[in-house]
């Protein structure tokens, strides 16, 4: 699980990939359509999409002759749930430290 989270965060840590993900959150789009919206070439968009696909946050599908991309909400949901779990564990640990400190 940790390795997958690291890969997802590494992919999303890039400003361009984050912008692509936000754009795809508004609806499916081709690399060409994304390149029209973002200050990046279509070739660069395609490379960034490949990285996002590799970590499982986007997928492609054919619509006629066009390859369109969409966000995989389930993977992002899994990532969010794992972050919530980590946050809850930290909250538990901090509460334990507080109880110890207040008992001194």
Task: Show me where the domains of the chain are located.
Answer: 1-72
Give bridge partners of residue 71 from the DSSP assignment: 58
**What is d(CA 12, CA 57) in angstroms, rounded to the nearest whole number?**
9
Predicted local distance difference test score (pLDDT) of residue 4: 85
Predicted local distance difference test score (pLDDT) of residue 23: 96
Could you say which residues of the chain have pLDDT below 50? none
To the nearest 10 degrees (0 to 180), the angle between helices 2-12 and 42-54 is: 160
Give the largest CA-CA distance in the chain: 70
- CATH class of the region 1-72: mainly alpha
Q: Specify the pTM.
A: 0.80
Predicted local distance difference test score (pLDDT) of residue 103: 86
Q: Cβ distance 71 to 25 under 8 Å?
A: yes
To which residue do tokens 């334990």 refer? Answer: 96
Predicted local distance difference test score (pLDDT) of residue 80: 87
């Amino acid at each position: 699980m940790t390795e997958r989270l690291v890969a997802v965060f590494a992919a999303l840590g890039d400003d361009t990939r984050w912008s692509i993900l936000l754009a795809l959150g508004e609806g499916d789009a081709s690399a060409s359509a994304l390149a029209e919206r973002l200050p990046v070439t279509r070739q660069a968009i395609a490379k960034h999409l490949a990285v996002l696909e590799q970590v499982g946050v986007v997928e492609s599908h054919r619509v006629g002759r066009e390859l369109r991309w969409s966000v995989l909400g389930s993977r992002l949901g899994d990532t969010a749930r794992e972050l919530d779990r980590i946050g809850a564990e930290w909250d538990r640990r901090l509460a334990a430290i507080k109880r110890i400190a207040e008992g001194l």
